[in-house]
Amino acid sequence: MKKLSRPNLHLALVHYPVVNKAGETIASAVTNLDIHDIARAAETYGARSFYMVTPLTDQTDLVRSIVRHWTSGNGATYNPKRRQALELIRMAEDLKQVTDDIRKEGERPRVVVTSARKSKNTVGYTGMRRKIADGRPYLLVFGTGWGLASEIIEKADFRLEPVRGNTDYNHLSVRSATAIILDRLLGCDR
Amino acid sequence: MKKLSRPNLHLALVHYPVVNKAGETIASAVTNLDIHDIARAAETYGARSFYMVTPLTDQTDLVRSIVRHWTSGNGATYNPKRRQALELIRMAEDLKQVTDDIRKEGERPRVVVTSARKSKNTVGYTGMRRKIADGRPYLLVFGTGWGLASEIIEKADFRLEPVRGNTDYNHLSVRSATAIILDRLLGCDR
């Protein structure tokens, strides 16, 4: 497919509200490699920002200190490529703060949620790829833990079709799912 | 594209010989999330095995104890889906041990190396997808650190085209690259 010039796509990784194995709503802990892997994939595919969403101040402080290390601390000198990726990271307490922040650039983003579970009214990858090409802002939302809480899924503008591989097993890490979804929506050499 | 029935594809994650930032050949340390993320992606896309390649016995012992926890220890009861993925994991000291092991099932696998760096005579994703569909065994090899040492790349049967995103930035984690490559080679809903 045709290369998209500067997609107006933003990412959010949600740590609350998400569900645990038992289906209960929880706040998950931040995972260091989520920060790095998703920021690097976001930079590779030209996303404009990557929001880490958590209402917990200790978790926010932790992410900020990791990001600071790689964007202005010793890490920035050691690995400037990592700095470039981690500069995409923003912090937010909830999704509303994310959409408000993006809206400051002109327009409220359309919220696209991802899930490993099948649901009704999902949009496929070709369809979503076409939408993103309209140049309007889109916010692609990923859940940690066992996935986004239903209140987030229900309020979204679009639900993206789950990634299926070549089997019935659908337990990708959020890091892997993000990489695959960005490649499907924005990859230019396929 | 058409769904591949039971791809005869195996994965190897190499920790020696790989290069560091300065281009020197080193043995990298095993990363816990490589084990989990790549095993889960391998199971999602129906790969037949996932070899962790390291000559270091302490690293081999570490991987074995992690795998044991999730396949027969408390982890197996807590999360049977994780068990299913980690059961794909095999240990090997070098790539020769991997190809010898796969050969026991009938035929030496063709070795396909991956790299973020451009090189001559690479095979594209459509071409490699077609090859894999011939039913013969293929071994897809990924490097940790700053990538596979040239001695591994030069001896391979095929070099897979690097993953490009939508920018000039090509610094995906090996976890993200593996997920994207499996999706490109084996994904059935695209």
- Is pLDDT of B2 > 90? no
Going by pLDDT thresholds of 50, 70 and 90, the confidence category of residue A188 is: confident
- CB within 8 Å: A183 and B183: yes
- Report the alpha-carbon distance of residue A169 to residue B2 in Å, rounded: 18
Q: List pLDDT tens digits, range A2-23.
A: 445 668 999 999 999 999 999 9
Classify residue A48: in a domain, yes or no: yes
Classify residue B4: in a domain, yes or no: no
Classify residue A155: in a domain, yes or no: yes
How remote is the C-alpha of A1 from its chain's centroid?
22
Inform me whether the C-beta atom of residue A118 falls under 8 Å from chain B C-beta atoms.
no
Domain that residue A172 falls in: 9-54+91-186
pLDDT value at residue B5: 62
Nearest-CB residue to A188 (from B21, B164, B189)? B164
- Report the alpha-carbon distance of residue B155 to residue B152 in Å, rounded: 5
Amino acid at B158: F
Contacts B7 to A, Cβ<8 Å: 166
Classify residue B66: in a domain, yes or no: yes
What rounded mean pLDDT belongs to chain B?
A: 94
pLDDT value at residue B143: 98
Nearest-CB residue to A165 (from B46, B170, B175)? B46
pLDDT value at residue B82: 94
- Is B172 strand, coil or helix? coil
What lies within 8 Å, CB to CB, of A35 at 6+ separation is: A52, A63, A66, A67, A86, A89
Do residues A115 and A159 lie in contact, with contact meaning Cβ atoms separated by under 8 Å? Answer: yes
State the smallest CA–CA distance between residue A53 and chain B in angstroms: 21
Average of pLDDT values for A148-170?
95
Q: List pLDDT tens digits, range A107-146.
A: 999 999 999 998 889 999 999 999 999 999 999 999 999 9
Give me the residue label for tokens 């408390």. Answer: B74
- CB within 8 Å: B179 and A187: no
Strands A18-19 and A25-26: antiparallel
pLDDT value at residue A76: 92
CB-CB neighbours of A130 under 10 Å: 12
- Is pLDDT of B1 > 70? no
Characterize A51-82 residue by residue with b for buried, 16 or more Cβ atoms within 10 angstroms of its Cβ, and e for exposed. bbbbeeeebbebbeebbebbbeeebbeeeeeb
- Report the alpha-carbon distance of residue B115 to residue B150 in Å, rounded: 10
Closest CA to B184 of A42, A92, A165, A110: A165
- CB within 8 Å: A169 and B4: no
Contacts B170 to A, Cβ<8 Å: 44
- CB within 8 Å: B179 and A176: yes
**How many domains does chain A divide into?**
1
Average of pLDDT values for A156-185?
96
CATH code for the domain in which residue B108 is found: 3.40.1280.10
Phi/psi for A68 (5° steps) reads: -60, -40
Contacts B179 to A, Cβ<8 Å: 172, 175-177, 179-180
Token pair in block for residue A96:
């509303």
What rounded mean pLDDT belongs to chain A?
A: 94
State the smallest CA–CA distance between residue B77 and chain A in angstroms: 13
For chains A and B, CB pairs below 8 A equal: 150
- Report the alpha-carbon distance of residue A149 to residue A113 in Å, rounded: 11
Token pair in block for residue B103:
């050969």
pTM here?
Answer: 0.96
What lies within 8 Å, CB to CB, of A190 at 6+ separation is: A1, A183, B125, B184
**Residues in a beta bridge with B39:** none
pLDDT value at residue A5: 62
Inform me whether the C-beta atom of residue B132 falls under 8 Å from chain A C-beta atoms.
no
Closest CA to A34 of A17, A58, A54, A48: A54
Inform me whether the C-beta atom of residue B58 falls under 8 Å from chain A C-beta atoms.
no
Of A173-187, B1-15, B61-75, the poorest mean pLDDT is in B1-15
pLDDT value at residue A120: 87
Q: How many residues does chain A have?
A: 190
Classify residue A116: in a domain, yes or no: yes
CB-CB neighbours of B36 under 10 Å: 20
Classify residue A23: in a domain, yes or no: yes
Strands B89-92 and B18-19: unpaired
Token pair in block for residue B172:
């995906």
State the smallest CA–CA distance between residue A125 and chain B in angstroms: 8
Q: List pLDDT tens digits, range B130-189.
A: 999 999 999 999 999 999 999 999 999 999 999 999 899 999 999 999 999 999 999 975
Cis ω before A109 (30° cut-off from 0): no
Q: Summarize chain B as % helix, strand, coil (round to 5).
A: 40, 20, 40
Q: List pLDDT tens digits, range B91-109.
A: 999 999 999 999 999 999 9
- Is B105 strand, coil or helix? coil
ipTM above 0.90, yes or no: yes
Q: Look at the alpha carbons of A53, A66, B38, A20 in this order and tell me if their dihedral is positive or negative.
A: negative
Nearest-CB residue to A176 (from B41, B79, B187)? B41
Inform me whether the C-beta atom of residue B65 falls under 8 Å from chain A C-beta atoms.
no
Average of pLDDT values for A160-179?
95
Inform me whether the C-beta atom of residue A104 falls under 8 Å from chain B C-beta atoms.
no
Give me the residue label for tokens 């190809």. Answer: B99
Characterize A5-15 residue by residue with b for buried, 16 or more Cβ atoms within 10 angstroms of its Cβ, and e for exposed. eebbbbbbbbb
pLDDT value at residue A1: 44
Going by pLDDT thresholds of 50, 70 and 90, the confidence category of residue B119 is: confident
